[in-house]
Amino acid sequence: MKLQVADLNSFYGPAHILFDIALEVGEGEVVALLGRNGAGKSTTFRSIVGLVENRSGRIMFEGKDVSREPTHAIVRGGLGYVPEERRIFTDLTVEENLEVGRQPKRPNAPFWTREKLFTLFPNLGEMRNRPGGRMSGGEQQMLTIARTLMGNPSLVLLDEPSEGLSPKIVEQMVDAILAMKKEGVSIVVSEQNLHFARLISDRAYIIERGKICFGGMMAELDARPDIRDAHLSL
């Protein structure tokens, strides 16, 4: 198992946000974390990488308990995290932004070079010297993902990668995620958009009000429109 989360409870101040979250990601799997606005998707990701101070539970990454490790150690260990807000350097060019993410080769994860990333994201290759601030939102989103891949992660958490993208850019995002999977990266993708999730995921969890209320194969979810209608807004 690549990632195992058990009994995860998280709080913001006095507010209890996540309740006994349990989820698993297998080697090379793409798993969707589905849920409405405010259901707790981002908080789950932030908790996994140690960005939520007040949380309890067990987070096992590649068989190692990382629940007490600081964020930088978790990320350096090969767990990549792409937050919802695009955090690129607007004054740096595409190539310079990528260099910021560079980390050494890892024995158990695919190795990325700039050229390989430009194959994955052809539009980034066409604007290598453009400053990040002069790119569209969708291009910035791709650059954020590409920069995370420069760290050679074996698993990536992608927080709502399709949000705010035009249909054409969404198509490119689907292709890029499937290509990442093919290279062997395990992926957890949070989404409100079931259609997008279906195109890329093997399995899905649904989170509602901080609790996991469904876990199963994508096909099972398709066979249960009642679950879908009760917990997702489409």
Shortest spacing between CB 43 and ligand ATP, in angstroms: 3
Looking at the Cβ atoms of 3 and 39, the one nearer to ligand ATP is 39
In DSSP terms, 176 is beta-bridged to: none
Where is 114: in which H helix or E strand?
Answer: helix 114-120
Shortest spacing between CB 53 and ligand ATP, in angstroms: 11
Shortest spacing between CB 36 and ligand ATP, in angstroms: 7
Longest CA pairwise span in the chain (Å): 49
* Secondary structure of residue 20 in the 3-state scheme: strand
Looking at the Cβ atoms of 35 and 50, the one nearer to ligand ATP is 35
Looking at the Cβ atoms of 62 and 159, the one nearer to ligand ATP is 159
Looking at the Cβ atoms of 13 and 167, the one nearer to ligand ATP is 13
**Euclidean distance between CA atoms 151 and 136, whole angstroms:** 23
| Pairing mode, strands 54-61 and 203-208 | unpaired
Shortest spacing between CB 83 and ligand ATP, in angstroms: 10
Shortest spacing between CB 207 and ligand ATP, in angstroms: 7
Helix axes 167-183, 137-149, angle to 10 degrees: 10
Judged by phi (left if over 0) then psi (alpha if -120 to 50, else beta), residue 61 lies in beta
Shortest spacing between CB 205 and ligand ATP, in angstroms: 12
18, 132 Cβ separation under 8 angstroms: no
Looking at the Cβ atoms of 34 and 94, the one nearer to ligand ATP is 34
Where is 19: in which H helix or E strand?
Answer: strand 15-25
Looking at the Cβ atoms of 38 and 184, the one nearer to ligand ATP is 38
